[in-house]
Amino acid sequence: MPVKPEDRQVVDKVFQAMHARAQGEKVMATLFAPNATLSEPFSGEPRTHKGKDSIMAWFRQAVTEMPPDMTIKMDRIDMDGDRVRADWTCTSSVFSTPMKGSDYYRISGGLIEQAEFVVTEMPPMG
């Protein structure tokens, strides 16, 4: 099922904010509902951040830990039931192979209410 243009714009802005790193913070802050949740595996273990303040604290920390040459490319976006699904590929010279994953979003009224970031292919570490 096709993604509504306004929902696609929200997801596009998430990817743009991640690429902008610290300069993307203001944009990222406009994308989440006050009581949103974001689940991610990047903090060393799966974690769920509840509320916009917690999500933004995670974002600020995450962008400081990104390799300088890291890029995230959206490969595909479509509807997965009632969620927007964005498949992506992340590359960096510190990865022996690309990292791949999918993000799942529930969007209402132009704001993300729930986001889940899932890694489907992790580069070998070490």
CATH number at residue 74: 3.10.450.50
User: Within a domain: residue 124?
Assistant: no
Give residue 126's pLDDT: 62
Instruction: Give the gyration radius of the chain's Cα atoms.
Output: 14
Distances (CA, A) of 12 to 3, 5, 73, 85, 93: 12, 10, 10, 12, 24
Closest by alpha carbon to 14, among 69, 84, 81?
84
pLDDT tens profile 94-105: 999 999 999 999
Per-residue model confidence as pLDDT tens for the chain (126 residues): 689 999 999 999 999 999 999 999 999 999 999 999 999 998 778 999 999 999 999 999 999 999 999 999 999 999 988 999 999 999 999 999 999 999 999 999 999 999 999 999 999 876
User: Within a domain: residue 125?
Assistant: no
User: Within a domain: residue 96?
Assistant: yes
